[in-house]
Amino acid sequence: MVGNRGAVCTAGVRVEMEKDRHPPRIAGWFVRRMFPDRGGSSILGDMIETYRYLAEDKGFFWARIWFWGQCVKAFPHFLIDEFYWRITMFKNYLLVTVRNLQKNSTYSLLNIIGLAVGLTAFILIALYVQYELSFDKYHENADRIYRAKREGRAFTPAPLGPALKEKILEVDSVARILRRSNTLMSYEQNHFLEEEFYWADPETFDIFSIPFISGNPQTALNEPAAIVLSQRTAKKYFGHADPMGKILTVSERNEFKVSGVFSDMPANSHFVMDVVVPYETYFRITNNDITSWRSNFSYTYFLLGEGSDPEVMANKISPFIEIPLFKAAGAKGPFPKYFFIQPLTEIHLHSHLMQEIGVNNDMKYIILFSSIAFLILFIACINYMNLATARSLRRGKEVGMRKVVGAQKGQLIVQFLGESVAMAVLAMIFSIMMVLMALPAFNSLVERQLSLNPIHNPQLFLGFVFIALFVGLFAGSYPAMRMSGFRPISVLSGTFTRSPKGSSLRNVLVLVQFAITIFLIICTIAVREQLKFIKTMDMGYTKEQIITLPVRGGSIRQNVQSIKTELLQHSDIIAVSTSDHLPNNIDTFTSRDWTGLNLEEPIPIYYNTADYDFIDLYGMQIVQGRNFSRDFPSDATGVFLVNETAVKVAEWESPIGRKFTHWSGETGEIVGVIKDFHLCSLHSPIEPLYVYLNTRNFSNISIKIKSINIPAMIDYVEGVMKKFSPGYPFSYSFFDEVFERAYFTEQRMGRVFGAFAILAIFIACLGLFGLTVFAAEQRTKEIGIRKVLGASDSKIFLLLSKEFVRWVLLANLIAWPIAYFVMNKWLQNFAYRIHIGIVAFLISGGTALLIAYFTVSYQSIKSARANPVNSLRYE
Amino acid sequence: MVKKGLILPEFRFQVNFFDNNCVVYNIGDSMDTKFISRSEEFLLLAVWRLKENAYGVTIRNQIKEATGKSWAYGALFVMLRRLEKKGYLTSHFSDPSSQRGGKSKRIFQLSPQGVKALKEVRKAQKSVWSGIEELSVPQE
């Protein structure tokens, strides 16, 4: 037993000794990984030798520590060494890159400019898209804020807010907001029409993150006569004086005391408030019933509790709010869904309701612009690939030499990719400069205030680095793969020529480039045509030579008759009319049953109020009955005009003389039928309409003028207005401009398309130009021989240009159907639209061809006219 | 007369490998203008002294003996490899020995280029130190 145990013991010791004779395996493995010199022969062998010596001398423990220490110490040396060789090689690559740039400066310039222009377009659009996507996201609780809406409409009744808060647990807080633009506000002698004037619940400042500069956001709106201003508005009224506690007069009647100032809301909000007064005060002043479910003119925003499911919340609206209401009104089920919700952050890009608080953008355009950005970047990359591959022959010898000396394919790929990344970085630097220069123009194009500010936008610069890398790698990938694949033997023995495979791929790239360009040109033409169509289409009213003045405040309304008389004394003023809406934007309607058909689902009818001169001033036609007329004293009690659509929808046989009721209850006779005109933009078809004669209530004055000396005439109008309402801020617009404003999004799209189509053409031409230059170079000898044998200059010219022409023609065939499809889709947005004729396609195809031809011909003519002696004497 | 191209330098058909973009590698070239570093000098001298028996362990010991500093093997290896790539050293492998855990030795030898480099350093050193008997801080 004892002996046995002893044997085990000695065996154990021996095992341990055996283990110790070897240095630590893990450390050894590391050393071998770092210095793989025939399995670590030299260094590891040396270390083991020293380790054994040390082990005998000082014991295995110290030897092991020493070994580990050596392993750790070797690591920095390993890193430095790795780096050293990398740097050495990198220095060489850099040198070759710089030499290449210098030697082929034209080529490099073409390439870098192409990339830079592409990148510039990309960055500009990226800035824009980033900005549009950022709308309303700055609010701390942005993801929990929702807006209540109705089917297709943004306005909700006033009692909805409190009902949501009271009946639905998920709702933390509710704020109702009501916008009254063009509200007259005065402080001592300063009068301004406030565009961004809001009546809002005090909770507004809980829900939205609007930091206060002075005053307490919690209590600022608690007093019924409190008013809260944005910083810029406070400065406008009070300069540098402390605004707190000052009294402001609103609409010449009501006084409000400043109780807070908040910092200006960022422009990337779907509504920007400048003046905020308590919501409930509005109802008190205007004698409206705040508990009435019938008055739809405010927006309801609410904050969901943390972790609440918006869908669950939305499903509760029907049982808790709608059904009790329907039942109270005595309606029988099934009850339709009436209220819906939408997230705050989706309003700017996804909400296209009527009665929106401001002009929203459309996700479609964002996607469209982004695609254009990527297309242009793609074209620029293709350009690079094209030129770089065309150049590859010139560098064939370098590749061959490197390979002979021992470069591996991977190393060459890294070298060429590195080169293209360097190009991309250079182009990026250029393009940032170009962006800085182009930004003001671009800002006015898209009507935004974009800036290239690294402090506000750090991720943008990360994006730049990423894009430069991506473009470099992507654009460089094909040339790098191709060039690194050269066989040194064929390159160096001189038998290397441009392979037909490579040239056909380059032609395909040109094809794609031109297809994209043609596509953009067609889109530009189609958008312009549609806009021209809108502009010149007979809307049913005249747009020219009409000035409109917005009216707020009582003094003008009281004196309107005198104002009209005085205005008409001017010889250049033909007519003056007052109306609630201008004819291009009649967006108020009532849904009560006006047809007398007892329909289950009432048809909404739009309405406008106007005076006697409205119809004539806007050149509308009466097709049946008569216009409002002072010759009929009974008209003064209130009469109606309806449009043809209303008559048709209501199936009236004789509308004239029918009794009709205004939405607010006044009744009167229908005296005439107006020829249909477009009430809104051409996005929607013509709806039923009535016009109620009312000379006292209006929001606009329209003045028809002769177009002689307009500035003097405007001075005169201003003088008259000032006379009757001193201090009233005078502002006016030309009706045709107001009209075009409604198509702002489309106009912007047209302009952006146009601008980027030009860029795309430019880049594509750069590429084509570069290619012809090289094609001509390639064929110098061929051209020389042809000329020696008697070919004429024109023959040579045709020979060189016909190849490109063929590809551009083919590009047309690809681009046409795609453009047709996309533009047709876009035109569906319009109830009235053009048909894209073949002309647009022919024009764009022709333009592309012409430009391509010009580009190609410069070099072609040069080569065709060259003296063959020069090209052949080296043989 | 060759018309100068407006756009690009004219294209010549030449069969000359060293024209244009070809780069000739000659790393040693740059050493004509640069002296080897002090540690490189130590290493080369150590190799020269050790004659046939210059490999990691002996070189390290030699340097320790001469300068009193013991180098990390990592540093030693990296420098030796670099000197070899620069052409100052040549090396070959000996047979593996169990003493070294079955590894062979990498035995280094000075190349003519290495000798030249050492001579140059020596020359430069002589002229730099000439006339200086003893180094002391100048008294003011």
Interface touch B55/A405, C-beta < 8 Å? no
Suggest the residue from B4, B22, B70, B108 to mutate for an interface test with chain A (most A CBs closer than 10 A): B22
Of these ranges, A67-76, A264-273, A662-671, the one predicted with the greatest mean pLDDT is A264-273
What sign results for the dihedral spanned by CA atoms A388, A394, A396, A402? negative
Omega into A334 within 30° of 0, i.e. cis? yes
Measure the CA–CA gap between A146 and A165, rounded to whole angstroms: 13
Nearest to B100 among A49, A70, A73 (CB): A49
Q: Does A675 touch chain B (CB under 8 A)?
A: no
Q: Does A397 touch chain B (CB under 8 A)?
A: yes
**CATH for B34-125, options being 3.20.20.100, 3.40.50.970, 3.40.50.2300, 1.10.10.10:** 1.10.10.10
Q: Are residues A304 and A317 in the same domain?
A: yes
Q: Lowest mean pLDDT: which of A570-574, A579-583, A763-767?
A: A763-767
In a domain, A61, yes or no: yes
pLDDT of residue A20: 58
Q: Are A355 and A153 in contact (CB under 8 A)?
A: yes
User: Which letter, b or e, does each residue of A445-468 get, where b requires 16 or more Cβ atoms within 10 Å of its Cβ?
Assistant: bbebebebeeeebeeeeeebeebb
In a domain, A127, yes or no: yes
Q: Are residues A589 and A727 in the same domain?
A: yes
Return the DSSP state at B51.
G
Mean pLDDT across the stretch A501-530?
81
Domain ranges of chain B: 34-125
In a domain, A246, yes or no: yes
Task: Write out pLDDT tens, residues A89-102.
Answer: 778 888 888 887 78
Q: How far is A499 from chain B (nearest CA, A)?
A: 18
Angle between helices A458-484 and A396-405 (to 10 degrees): 80
Q: Which of A328, A350, A372 is the last residue of a domain?
A: A350
Does residue A573 have a pLDDT over 60? yes
Does residue A12 have a pLDDT over 80? no
Q: Are residues A110 and A67 in the same domain?
A: no
Suggest the residue from B6, B10, B23, B58 to mutate for an interface test with chain A (most A CBs closer than 10 A): B23
Sort out which chain A residues have CB atoms less than 8 A from B9's CB and list them.
103-104
pLDDT of residue B138: 67
Query: What is the span of the domain harbouring residue A875?
Result: 513-536+741-875
Range 18-57 of B in CB contact (< 8 A) with A: 19-25, 27, 55-57
Q: Lowest mean pLDDT: which of A5-14, A271-280, A691-700?
A: A5-14
Q: Does A773 touch chain B (CB under 8 A)?
A: yes
Sort out which chain A residues have CB atoms less than 8 A from B81's CB and list them.
37, 81
Q: Are residues A726 and A750 in the same domain?
A: no
Q: Are B98 and B13 in contact (CB under 8 A)?
A: no
Amino acid at A230: S
Q: Are residues A551 and A532 in the same domain?
A: no
Task: Write out pLDDT tens, residues B80-91.
Answer: 888 888 889 988
The pLDDT mean for chain A works out to 84
In a domain, A505, yes or no: no
Measure the CA–CA gap between A871 and A867, rounded to whole angstroms: 7
Q: Are residues A152 and A128 in the same domain?
A: no
Tokens of A643: 């449009």
Q: Which residue of A has its CA nearest to B14?
A: A874
Tokens of A24: 């630590």
Q: Are residues A563 and A492 in the same domain?
A: no
Measure the CA–CA gap between B2 and A716, rounded to whole angstroms: 74
Provide, rounded to the nearest whole percent, the portion of chain A with pLDDT above 90: 23
Q: What is the CA radius of gyration of chain A?
A: 39
Interface touch A46/B23, C-beta < 8 Å? no
Sort out which chain A residues have CB atoms less than 8 A from B2's CB and list them.
870
What ipTM describes this predicted complex? 0.70
**CA A316 to chain centroid:** 35
Concatenated DSSP letters for A284-314?
Answer: HHHT--TT-TT-EEEEEEEEEPTT--HHHHH
pTM for this entry: 0.72
Measure the CA–CA gap between A13 and A617, rounded to whole angstroms: 116
Q: Are residues A199 and A318 in the same domain?
A: yes
Task: Write out pLDDT tens, residues A25-48.
Answer: 888 888 888 877 766 667 888 888
Q: Which residues pair with A147 in a beta bridge?
A: A301, A342
| Closest by CA position to A446, among listed A119, A124, A829, A196 | A124
pLDDT of residue A356: 84
Higher pLDDT, B94 or B139: B94
pLDDT of residue A553: 65
Q: Are residues A50 and A114 in the same domain?
A: no
Q: In sequence order, what are the residues at sequence separation of 6 or more whose Cβ sits closer than 8 angstroms to the Cβ of residue A309? A: A170
Number of domains in chain A: 5
Q: Are residues A413 and A556 in the same domain?
A: no
Q: Are A860 and A800 in contact (CB under 8 A)?
A: yes
Measure the CA–CA gap between A266 and A210, rounded to whole angstroms: 10
pLDDT of residue A771: 75
Concatenated DSSP letters for A584-624?
Answer: T----EE-S--SSS--SSPPPEEEEEE-TTHHHHTT--EEE
User: Which letter, b or e, does each residue of A599-614 get, where b requires 16 or more Cβ atoms within 10 Å of its Cβ?
Assistant: eeeebebbbbbbbbbb
Higher pLDDT, A68 or B98: A68
Q: Are residues A523 and A550 in the same domain?
A: no
Q: Which helix (DSSP H) or strand (DSSP E) does residue A643 occupy?
A: strand A640-643
Angle between helices A500-536 and A363-390 (to 10 degrees): 150
Measure the CA–CA gap between A606 and A591, rounded to whole angstroms: 9
Range 59-98 of B in CB contact (< 8 A) with A: 60, 72-78, 80-82, 93, 96
